[in-house]
Structure formats: C-alpha cells, structure tokens
Amino acid sequence: MSPPRPRAYRLPGLGLNATLVVVFLGLFVLLPISALAAKSVALGPAHFWEIITDARALATYRVTLLAAFGATVFNALAGLLLAWVLVRYRWTGRGLLDAIIDLPFALPTAVSGLALTTLFATKGWLGAPLAELGIKVAFAPAGILVAMAFTSLPFVVRAVQPVLQTLEPELEEAALTLGTRPFTIFRRVIFPAILPALATGATLAFARSIGEFGAVVFIAGNIPYRTEITALLAYIRLEEYDYAGSAAVATVMLVAAFAIMLLVNRLENWGRRLAAA
C-alpha cells in the first residue's frame, strides 16, 4: 500500500485573493473593453469599416505610426546608451540620472506636454536656436515624435539595465585576452545577450507612444491630416457626441494595443529561452 500523498500547501487567503483579482479584472478591464466592443459591433461591418477608413482617420493612423516608429528608434539607441552608462560607469550624479529616467512615469502627461511646448516653442530655450536653423518642433510633426520619445524612454532603459547588470564579466575578459576589439566584443558577446530585452523595451515604448495623448496634444498643434493623432480623433468624435465614431476609432487602437502586447509576450518568451540555453 503506497503512503498517502502529502497535502498540497496553499498560501493563506489564496482563494479570496484570486476572487478579488477576477472581480477587479472583470470590473475595471474586461467590462469597459466589452462595452467598447459591443458599441463597435452594433455599428455593423459596413458602417464600422466606413468610419475607420475615413480619410481623416487614415491620416491619423499614418501620423501616429510614423511618429511612434521614429520615437521607438530613437529610444532604442538612447535607452541602450543610458543603460550602458548607468551600469558600466560610476560617477557623481549617477543616482540622480537614474532617478530622473523614471520621471516620465510619475509626471502627468499634460505637464510633460506643457513643459515640452515651452521648451521647444519658437522662443523657448531649445526652440529658438532650432528655429534659426529652420527646424520647427512645437506645433509640427517633430513635436509629436519628441513627446512620444520623452514619455516612453524609460521602458527601454529599465528593460535593458537589469540584463546588463547580470552579464558575466568573465566572457568579456576572455575575449579581451584573445585580442578581440571592444566593438567586436559588444557585437558578438554583449549585444546578442541584451537583444531580447532591448526588443521588449522598444516594443513597450512603441505601444506607449501609440496610446500617448496628454503630452502630444499640447505640442502637436492638432492640425487635421498633418499633426492629428488617432487618440485625439477619438476624443474629438466624443466631444462631437459621435459616440459611434469614437468607439470605432478607439477599437482600432484597442486591437493595435492587444497585438503589440502579444508581441511583447512572444519577445519575453524568446528572451527566457535564450537565457535558459
């Protein structure tokens, strides 16, 4: 007769906690999403397609995606550089810079937009010298890119930084003893190790950029067909009491966000497989 199996240990209150999590997700996540989806479905396929393929809506997709892509490319490079400096060097003020990187997370996006508009206006500290060079940032497409880059940069830094901290220095030291050049070490040893984290951070930054609203509306100028983003169009439709149009445009953003989150999940799984190999 086999001995009785030991009773599985469970954390106290696990059932109650799980119930609270399900209720929270249902009320604050699934219920609003379901309401939005139901509003879009009620439009009918033809009307829904007509709204989301309107010329003005297509222009907002183009503006939003191009600016988000440009901000993501910038953040991938700048975020990698910042993470490298924070991990590999020790200098006075390092802790302050490390704290400032998280400022866009804590700062209200409207405040970020006002600060960036003041900074890059034609008479601002940075806007004035740029204006003399013929470069306009505030109330121009470049302003959208700047606002998106500012609010999403921490995602890249915080994704890459812990991976750099856990890299074994013995690998680099061994490559140096063999006469390998520093850039070759970075390209062949370091970069493949941090690539999954960099890709995950960049994808999260892209998702944040697409959904950014508060910082962008202050600096963009919000000119239809030129500097109007998709989130703003959904808000304008709501202000016009066009609830169907607002729901349709918002559904496009919801689908895009869901697809990006699936991509982030795939990238994280890829990173775990590489780490386990």
> Cα 269 to the chain's mean position, in Å?
18
> Average pLDDT, stretch 136-155?
94
Q: What pLDDT, on a 0 to 100 scale, did the predictor assign at position 264?
A: 84
**Average model confidence (pLDDT) across the chain:** 86
Q: What pLDDT, on a 0 to 100 scale, did the predictor assign at position 118?
A: 93
% of the chain residues with pLDDT over 70: 88
> Average pLDDT, stretch 176-185?
80
Q: What pLDDT, on a 0 to 100 scale, did the predictor assign at position 61?
A: 95
> Average pLDDT, stretch 190-198?
90
Q: What pLDDT, on a 0 to 100 scale, did the predictor assign at position 187?
A: 86
| Homologous superfamily (CATH) for 45-276 | MetI-like (1.10.3720.10)
Neighbours of 184 (CB within 10 A): 11
Please check the confidence at residue 188 and state whether its pLDDT lies above 90: no
The domain locations on the chain are 45-276
Check: CB of residue 49 under 8 Å from CB of residue 248: no
Q: What pLDDT, on a 0 to 100 scale, did the predictor assign at position 7?
A: 53
Structure tokens at 83: 């993470």
Place of tokens 């990187």: 101
pLDDT tens, position by position, 105-134: 888 888 999 999 999 998 899 999 999 999
> Average pLDDT, stretch 10-16?
54
Check: CB of residue 177 under 8 Å from CB of residue 96: no
Q: What pLDDT, on a 0 to 100 scale, did the predictor assign at position 80?
A: 95
Amino acid letter, residue 258 = F
pTM of the predicted model, to two decimals?
0.85
pLDDT tens, position by position, 204-221: 999 999 989 989 999 998
pLDDT tens, position by position, 226-251: 999 999 999 999 899 898 888 899 99
CA angle centred on 86, ends 81 and 87, rounded to 5°: 100
Confidence of residue 180 (pLDDT cuts 50, 70, 90): confident
